[in-house]
Structure 1
Amino acid sequence: MDQTALHVTAAVRKLGNGELCLYLCTGKGTRIMVSWRGIYFILTLFWGSFFGSIFMLGPFLPLMFINPSWYRWINNRLVATWLTLPVALLETMFGVKVIITGDAFVPGERSVIIMNHRTRMDWMFLWNCLMRYSYLRLEKICLKATLKRVPGFGWAMQAAAYIFIHRKWKDDKSHFEDMIDYFCDIHEPLQLLIFPEGTDLTENSTARSNEFAEKNGLQKYEYVLHPRTTGFTFVVDRLREDLKWPLAEDKMRKTWLTVSKPGADATVLKKFKEDHCFHSVEIDGIWLHSDSILEGSLDFFL
């Protein structure tokens, strides 16, 4: 027998809160614990997005070539209907409570939403907010291009017209231009979610951010990363140009959304271990209107 073979044993344990958890123990002493609720949550969303992409969104694909405006109108509402599923699961299964403070959303208003990226689930908590105070159908997210290849999730996000970027400006600039022009041409209000930090907060990303700060003589941060400003500035300027709306007229807004959770960890699976899922998430919104505020807004965000 191969002495290097990895042996895995499984055991089920009931926690004090009644939650059943699955323990996977390897021969090297490594122990992994995932709750049944976490497994159910992930599988439900995966299969929901998989079949939803095929049977909800798929039949309307020909309409994209016949009438793009109708296609986007129908598609946005189908996607918004599906997004109520993760919202319901977060609140009913895990008891997640989203606390919203600061300035209120204006439903249906064009917005560029800037959010910090403490964990890999920040964008999901925003759905709880948008479902009640705006429209889920209007939100579009900037994501890493690799995510569009994920079966189910990736198909649905492509159909929803999320913006996928490679985080290399020479490759992303033309794609940003095409997508923004598309949304302006179909006359559908856009609420674009951007993560200026570019990635979630981990030990590795924090180390890279601190290395960048040392090299450029900048302050080091503990709970955020140094933001990438090129894409954000370009998006705001491009929307202003295409929509021909001066920023001071309050017809396109920018808002910072700060998501906070003490001891938050970026790893998704850790959210479903024992009782460590989010129970209280604070979202603080600040509307930004004028150019003078916009110029200093990244410092305010940090």
Structure 2
Amino acid sequence: MTASTSSALPLGKYLASTEKKTRDKAIKILSTFLSDPSQDAIPRSEMIKLWKGIFYCFWMSDKPLVQQALASELAEIVLTITTTTSALTFLSGFWETIVREWNGIDRLRMDKYYMLVRRFVNASFRLLIREDWDARYVEEYNKILSREGGPLNPTDTRVPSSLPFHLSDIYLEELDKAMKTSSKDSDISPTPLKPLLIPFFRLAARTNASTTSKHLQSTLIQPLLSSFSSSSEEPGDLRSKKRRRLNSGSDGEEPLYPSINANSCFDEPTSSSLSCPVLKQKILKEIFKIAGEPESRDSNRRRLYALWKEEKDDDDDDV
């Protein structure tokens, strides 16, 4: 096997080999090939074939430390690919494969695939941060997640509900981690929350599954809004002591999503970061707007309107 011959890169049988040494060598060749600027971009059809091999390469991995190392190595490929467009094609192949194969993952392997998804979400954010949240790339990334066959598509019944559940569980946590990691090396542009969150807001509004809408609200939307409220409160404000405790775990602990709270904007990453109260009001306004769209289901609309009213009333009480 060599990395210099063909853009088709026929590594499938090596990636899915029963021999760990063969699989490891195939991953190294793959990483070298994809990071070589002299190679042409892999066509989508070939990328899908390639990802089937990668999926089963990870399937064959055993022992927690081996799985963790391989998950990290695969996700880091996103950041070594020469062009951002090609990196997004690689991510597209990942998500298409994950959605297609998800229902076939057995219970004993599910945790390691949850970990793989987490690693790729983090790498995706670091890629977008590296590109200063370029609107073109953020839009393309959202299309990958929200299109038919994507994990956040609200109408595609083939998407397993556990995927958007898991994404909503980890999304803000991994965004905050990626921001913290990237800011260690250099100053980073403020994170534009609106384009990153709209796929979740639309899924919460349009999904046919009330359990999905409720889960997104309880694990992503409400924690984010609570973190904004907690960060904007005075330390001695007893009226919101309970809310701070729920948000941070106990008094005195660092609040959720400190990097998001410290360096985010609403839409344009070229603008300055906004204060938490301003971000909260803008996010609530966007939720209200999306809930009112014709595509939103009535039951979801009522739920989101109730959330909007509750959060607005809380803010009014704190004034």
> Shorter chain as normaliser: what TM range?
0.3 to 0.5
Bigger relative contact order, structure 1 or 2, given CA contacts below 8 A and separation 6+?
1
Give the TM-score normalised by structure 2: 0.31
Structure with the higher helix share, 1 or 2:
2
Structure with the higher strand share, 1 or 2:
1
Give the TM-score normalised by structure 1: 0.32
